[in-house]
Structure 1
């Protein structure tokens, strides 16, 4: 019981009691907002009255007893005469009983003081109120005090107005606590000299000055402080703590309200908006003025502020108190009211989903429209829930088929395996009955799991059947045809989808992304395609179609060797909400990020992100696309020297149809590299050649996608077929001549150098290093630097070789490429244990070796001086010494002699 800031009111009541004891009776009307201290005042007066020996008669009104005649009188009569007799006589309701009751009370007041306390008198029955009014008129000359507590809005009631007009009547008003009062309450309850400014402010904000709520908040604070005292480091912040005491007090406060208060507050919680509108009236089936009075009562009581609950948890607490069946009924009424008022379909669907069992056609239609909206906003889980409810609720078989197709489309973005189940549940007849848009919605799921026949049938039907409802514009159908050759080149050839798309859709991100990906697959790295890809990413809109276009744009940047740009955009997309909440797209973008890391030489990140992508959807959920993250992880483990882990991945079952997609190309390359590292070059060569055959067959022979020729050359070199390797590598250089592919070019030059002697291979390796410096691939740069160091050492330039070796070891360590690092370290140990370099044995200095190598390659003295930044005279002097030491007379003999002197390794 909170009595803070009630001192003056208590004084008034005690003064009236003293006057009554002296024979000057009176009546006090205690009024104020809900739960602000009226009952507490009556309690204080009752205690004082009983302590003084007065006869205390108490009663309390209740809404359920309002129609019970003489219900309040019966409670009062129990203290005047034996309960059963008195109650029975009053229940009879005869005028004589009422007269005898008044007489009995007045006789008692002649002997000793009588105090009559009636709480919540607004709920009293009419007969009892009449008796109280008659008794009040006679109290002026009796030792009788009548105290009636009534809600603030009822003071204008006729019986209440009549009481207040009596000359010996007095009104005592209670009000919500002020901030000063709450500060006093805090100090009384919590004690100490603490700074209570923050706590006071928060309690006032959460309670609105309602002493019941304020006291409950202090109880929660005290309980939290007790818990914190027993926990290490358990300091609490200075503000309020909202706990179970506040929850219980709030709910109890609402239960004590006027009739319909509970219903109004439930409606407020249900609609999450002020129920005084037409919507609220329809849900509650109550007049607007009744709702307005109840809302006003709740505001005065401090429960609401500006039409909303003071604490956000209050809404859930109120809803939890409603019986589940009643709550479902209210949600359905709310949905109908919102629908009839033309309100936002998302609001309607929220209530339908909460109801969970709808049948009316208007409700199914609303759920479908809301699901389409949710899909457009990237909220796929919500869309799937709404579509599932609509499908369960619909009684129309044709409509159910369309909803099933839409559900498959939504589920594909969350759980592709579950989406496939929905598609498979659609029989041939049901599929034929789908509208054009519904049929196209099922296409991504069919493609994802390799049902290209189903997609082809769908396209044929759409293009040949003009009777379908929901016709799809030609650009939309053409867009799907444009995507298919890029996604499924083993079924739809590049070029099949290159026809121009009519209409304004040509400038849409979807069209631009499709054309950019088509360009880079068919022609290799393309600056215009890369620019288009960045344009798509800049226009990203966080929904399904936009996410697919963004993924294609990222792949375009990757295949264009724009790794820094691709990494930046991919990281930005992965940090985008709600996109990252969609499992499928999160998996796709994580897999792309893993491939970017792999091509940049970050093997650890490639393995970790690739595994994260696989785990996100599971092997079954990836469909034919599983080859992309699987290949990345397999490639990364192989490059790290983790052949056992890589071998385990080869046990993963992959769909056969995967090898009709680009994912299959990446998988063949990664598997071949693993075979090569495991000492199986023939098996590796078979995979690499199969990859090349497919790429040429599909018309996507772009080394930026998969450099199958360099892969084949690696296997051929392992088989000591250097000439075959050289032919392939030279062919590769011709293929990439017209494109900007620094990564592939650098690798090609490094391998081409391995087909030649050290002297002839040196400039190739120098160019390879220079090109790879700009590619962003730290692993391939490390391999090229290592090869360049070996070449320098074979040519006798030990100083340069040592510096190159150190850098190569650093790059290998940075990339965590254990095989490369081990090979470098073994080579260095072998060099330290061997005799002097071959060049030294030939008697050539490092400077003489450099001049000799360039002269052997056919450079003139002037060209050598420019390349080495020395004078022509110095070149001539070095060559004179070289001729003498190698015993040659002509420049044309220099190459053979130099090769003989330094050897090949």
Structure 2
């Protein structure tokens, strides 16, 4: 009998680490194998795809060696001390399976076999059924791979995805990037995983089934749990034929009954990945239409609409997606809500639904920290809520190109000269603070926000900035208002208060408090948000005041604020204090560049309040250190000439690449695809005249 593979068993006790990791919760099966082999009996390990049969077979081989047997994978003739090891027995021809009964010694067989066929093959064999593991075993496997305790929600997501199949779970854990063991990341990551073992299993099943069963199986994978009548409509198959096909799928261990479904979500994803994109799109469109006609839940219908690559172009689509987004948001699933609203933007909608979608997106961007996209806001332009989104995410240069209203224009150097100086009290306080002290008006606005009046983000941001521009003791005012303001703010709105609180502690000389607040803030929010840049400016100012500019340089490099900064208002203050940092680090030319750019930006806003950013002092100190040759017209260098050619996002990616992060890890960190990271790096290569990743250190080194 020929060997299915050329693998050789390891010595006794030498179970590979990846195999040992799949044996958690398998104590009963291992004990049954040890008892049978000790008595010289054959063993048949059977179970569904990905349950860890091969891992148990490796353990059985090791047990056989300790029992004085010699595991072999080819027919050894008359050697009674040999034990024949046959993996993936379900893929062997029938005549080879029948030969197993004539083997003189014990036989170890593993495969996705029909339990009723085992007594026919090996009448006296010990049958070891490999069943799904439970939540405790899944939690232990995830903990070992993550290297730390994980939340119960993470365990539940892995258990539901794998169906308790240890092999599938192990494959999924191998593909989850470091730092991706959070519920939010896994909800996006797990459905997109392509597991080779499951794809191969699906193709083998389709080869053994008829076309009708394959069509029903694919429709079932798209629908998830469903009823027979819905399955018939989506698959386009009469009920009796669909029921017969479903029974064949159950016999092939692809589907399960009660309710009708694919055996596990992981297997369902594999079926969908195996399908041609055009066929998958057709089934999702059909499912959305059928479920909507049958008045199914909004979330069920929206799931199929979101899965479509192109708009369904139906008048009911946008209202259903908006309703589903509200349900997801109420359940704390911000990522699902964002996907529904982004799909709604593509669909035809009336003014009422458009306003609902705009408000829903603004809610996610402002309170849940979901990054906005310029194209979406551009299509939904109008309304103070979207204006506030641009204010919140003002370090995203694509958003600064949107001219939505006075709030958005007020934070962009490109539009500040043409901005409408009217507006509410908070915006008036901000404009007045550019020319002089208006702490009294700013304090009144912040008090009103604490009492529940006005819009939290615009009023808090503009009044807070106006207070920072004052010459009075703003630290005492801010720290007194912090408890009342925090009770008023929701979700990510509080991040702006944290940045303002960091400035208050900096004014009091408490660098430890500033460091704690800013590091916590930047760890949970995107550098594209203005609050991150404002908090970073407070940290840099405090670090320079405390004589630790190296800490400031490390933070700026990690956040991508080491190169060219976006033309946002909060970055003006950051430029000034970054210039001070360069002076302390012995880089007067970089300090002069930052001070000069800071002055140019202040001129665009026609801001002449010296309390905002005394950049002239930094520029004068830098020129003095450079000597008589240094003038404002000289070419300047910003932390290496190459950094100045990069966008902020490119700078962040380069910093992570220099730190040894892989493209996959960088993609996970920023919530984008690996292909997007590769495209960013390609643009960096073109800008700097290099062709390989290993050359980055030569161009961007200190």
TM-score (norm 1): 0.39
Larger helix share, 1 or 2:
1
TM-score (norm 2): 0.48
More RCO (CA 8 Å, sep 6+) = 2
